[in-house]
């Protein structure tokens, strides 16, 4: 999580890829020219980032393919970068699994978890590291501590007692970021994803310092839908505020997105309000009479994790539709022929939208980073948008906007319950990051949270920390909190929208 918010060479390449893919789609014509893009993104004759410029370009080639929604090419066979691109140049294409991919030759084959004694070891007389080791894995050799890795059980006790902080825990960054323990190694030591465990939260891809992990995109298909004259309505997640810089006010964002070809922009905070109301009613109806606790439903990586690891607790997750789906169904009801594009911070929303039960509601899912690529490709700048061009964004309440930060969902639900039943005690527990979410559910399984409302967020910090965000998490959190306070109405119960859809989650 240490890399989040730092604009690095990995970030720069990723965003250039999104821009070029968007430009390619907008310009149309002969798409075989994608073969030339790696030379535009990585120009010159000398490698800047890796040992070979040819390797740099080969990695960019795979990134371009994934951004278009194409699969990785086999390493042992020749295929052009453009292979299959014509089949992807359509308006109707969903994400083909796997969503999250590892570019094998971009992976550094980082060592798996182990403890390592550094040169800071002073060979102290007390050698507490040796004394506390439960397996006798530490010996003092030539005055320095040495760990026998064949005996080490990685308990970390040696690290905790070293007075010089001389013992480091070495971890593969992607594996450390994965709360599902879904990342292991192949026969060559390269990272490998266990897709039976993966929930597509995307934390591995934003924590890999080598940029070897990439999710697929739909920028190409979205732009093709626009070019074919389809009415495309954008649903913008409440985490958008502050993502595109200080000049990108909600009104300017709406105007800028219209310049990209979107017909209309709707704030998903509207659906968040409806979701909060439904979850509040679920809680009041079910807890504790019919179930011991209730968990919120809006974060797809959290709910998929719960169903994978704690299937017996799955019935205790609220049946309310997520804000994305609620908003999409509401908009589709009014615009049955429109295509719906969800724009948000989240990689897992791509997974959610690819489910058959949701495909008819949400046609495209793009991250804020991918949307920024579209702005760059069309040279749309927020400072160039005049006040006369501003378009008011459909407003949700403060509670709906607060879904973007950790604790916001549970707070919105609790506020509703307090208004509907002032005498009722509302106990809330929340967790952020899938590893902490697992601990939360483990305790709930043991009966520690009976009577509670549980909120889980797959990303540490909430939606503002999603894999597709552009800003540092603390900065985004502050922007959202300010946006929450600016809402004319604060409680979701005050929303002017009503659920008239008659749908519940399958």
Residues 6+ apart with CB under 8 A from 231: 263, 335, 337, 338, 339
Over the range 16-39, which residues count as b (16 or more CB within 10 Å of their CB) and which as e?
A: bbbbbbbbbbbeeeebeebeebbe
Is residue 504 over pLDDT 70?
A: no
β-strand partners of 141: 144
Distance CA 143, CA 486 (A): 63
Per mean pLDDT, which range of 2-6, 35-39, 219-223, 247-251 is the poorest?
2-6
Is residue 395 over pLDDT 90?
A: no
Residue 505 pLDDT class (50, 70, 90 cuts): very low
How do residues 105-135 score in pLDDT, each as one tens digit? Answer: 999 999 989 999 999 999 999 999 999 999 9
Is residue 386 over pLDDT 60?
A: yes
β-strand partners of 170: 114
Distance CA 362, CA 222 (A): 12
DSSP 8-state code for residue 321: P
Q: Backbone dihedral region of 44: left (phi > 0), alpha (psi from -120 to 50 degrees) or beta?
A: left
Q: What's the whole-number mean pLDDT along residues 55-64?
A: 97
CB 451 within 8 A of CB 293: yes
Distance CA 453, CA 386 (A): 45
How do residues 296-341 score in pLDDT, each as one tens digit? Answer: 989 999 999 999 999 999 999 998 999 999 999 999 999 999 999 9
Residue 394 pLDDT class (50, 70, 90 cuts): confident
pLDDT at residue 357 in the model: 80
Cis status, amide bond into 288, omega within 30 of 0: yes
Per mean pLDDT, which range of 75-79, 191-195, 388-392 is the poorest?
388-392
User: Which residue from 91, 53, 48 is spatially nearest to 69, judged by alpha carbons?
Assistant: 91
Contacts 24+ apart (CB under 8 A), 8-13: 8/209, 9/48, 9/49, 10/208, 10/209, 10/210, 10/211, 13/41, 13/42, 13/49, 13/60, 13/63, 13/211
Is residue 503 over pLDDT 70?
A: no
- Residue 56 class from Cβ within 10 Å (0-12 exposed, 13-18 middle, 19+ buried)? buried
Is residue 42 over pLDDT 90?
A: yes
How do residues 63-87 score in pLDDT, each as one tens digit? Answer: 999 999 999 999 999 999 999 998 8
Q: What is the overall mean pLDDT for the chain? A: 93
Higher pLDDT, 358 or 203: 203
- Judged by DSSP in three states, 431 sits in strand
Strands 427-432 and 452-457: parallel
Residue 499 pLDDT class (50, 70, 90 cuts): low
How do residues 211-251 score in pLDDT, each as one tens digit? Answer: 999 999 999 999 999 999 999 999 999 999 999 998 899 88
What is the CB neighbour count within 10 angstroms for residue 418?
A: 15
Q: What distances in angstroms separate CA 499 from CA 70, 148, 331, one per listed residue?
A: 37, 62, 12
CB 183 within 8 A of CB 204: yes
CB 211 within 8 A of CB 120: no
CB 397 within 8 A of CB 491: yes
pLDDT at residue 88 in the model: 83
- The C-alpha angle with vertex 474 and arms to 468 and 475, in degrees rounded to 5, equals 80
- For a pLDDT cut of 70, what percent of the chain falls above it? 98
CB 28 within 8 A of CB 377: no
Tell me which CATH code domain 114-170 carries. 3.30.70.20
> How many Cα atoms are found within 13 Å in the side-chain-facing hemisphere of 113?
12
- Residue 424 class from Cβ within 10 Å (0-12 exposed, 13-18 middle, 19+ buried)? exposed
pLDDT at residue 1 in the model: 59
- For a pLDDT cut of 90, what percent of the chain falls above it? 87
Tell me, letter by letter, the H, E, C secondary structure of 123-178.
Answer: CCCCCHHHHHCCCCCEEEECCEEEECCCCCCCCCHHHHHCCCCCEEEECCHHHHHC
Q: Is the dihedral of CA 161, 164, 167, 173 positive or negative?
A: positive
């Amino acid at each position: 999580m240490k890399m989040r918010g730092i604009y690095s060479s990995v970030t720069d390449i990723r965003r250039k890829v999104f821009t070029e893919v968007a430009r390619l789609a907008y310009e149309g014509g002969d798409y075989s020219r994608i073969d030339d893009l790696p030379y535009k993104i990585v120009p010159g004759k000398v490698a800047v980032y890796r040992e070979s410029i040819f390797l740099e370009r080969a990695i960019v080639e795979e990134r371009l393919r994934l951004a278009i929604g194409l699969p990785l090419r086999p390493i042992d066979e020749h295929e052009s970068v453009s292979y299959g691109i014509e089949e992807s140049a359509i308006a109707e294409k969903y994400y083909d699994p796997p969503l999250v991919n590892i570019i094998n030759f971009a992976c550094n084959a980082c060592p798996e978890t182990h403890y390592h004694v550094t040169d800071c070891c002073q060979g102290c007389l007390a050698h507490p590291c040796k004394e506390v080791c439960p397996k006798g894995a530490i010996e003092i050799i030539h005055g320095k501590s040495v760990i026998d890795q064949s005996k080490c059980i990685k308990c970390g006790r040696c690290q905790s007692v070293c007075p010089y902080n001389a013992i480091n825990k070495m971890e593969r960054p992607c594996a450390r970021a994965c709360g599902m323990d879904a990342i292991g190694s192949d026969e060559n030591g390269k990272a490998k994803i266990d897709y039976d465990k993966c929930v597509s939260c995307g934390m591995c891809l934003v924590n890999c310092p080598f940029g070897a992990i990439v999710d697929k995109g739909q920028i190409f298909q979205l732009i093709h839908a626009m070019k074919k004259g389809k009415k495309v309505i954008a649903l913008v997640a409440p985490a958008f505020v502050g993502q595109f810089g200080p000049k990108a006010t909600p009104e300017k964002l709406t105007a800028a997105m219209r310049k990209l070809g979107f017909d209309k922009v709707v704030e998903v905070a509207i659906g968040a309000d409806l979701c909060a109301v439904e979850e509040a009613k679920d809680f009041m109806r079910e807890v504790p009479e019919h179930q011991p606790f209730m968990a919120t439903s809006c974060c797809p990586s959290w709910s998929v994790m719960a169903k994978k690891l704690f299937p017996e607790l799955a019935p205790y997750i609220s049946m309310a539709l997520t804000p994305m789906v609620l908003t999409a169904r509401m908009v589709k009801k009014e615009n049955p022929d429109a295509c719906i594009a969800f724009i948000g911070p989240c990689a897992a929303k791509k997974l959610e939208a690819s489910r058959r039960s949701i495909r008819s509601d949400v046609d495209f899912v793009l991250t804020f980073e991918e949307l920024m690529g579209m702005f760059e490709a069309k040279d749309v700048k927020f400072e160039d948008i005049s006040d006369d061009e501003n378009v008011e964004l459909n407003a949700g309440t403060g509670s709906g906007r607060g879904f973007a930060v950790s604790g916001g969902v549970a707070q919105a639900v609790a506020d509703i319950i307090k208004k509907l039943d002032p005498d009722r005690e509302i106990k809330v527990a929340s967790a952020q990051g899938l590893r902490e979410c697992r601990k939360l559910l483990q305790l709930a399984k043991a009966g520690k949270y009976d009577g509670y409302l549980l909120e889980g967020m797959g990303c540490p910090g909430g939606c503002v920390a999603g894999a597709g965000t552009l800003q540092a998490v603390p900065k985004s959190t502050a922007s959202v909190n300010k946006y929450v306070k600016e809402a004319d109405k604060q409680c979701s119960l005050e929303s002017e929208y009503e659920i008239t859809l008659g749908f519940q989650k399958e």
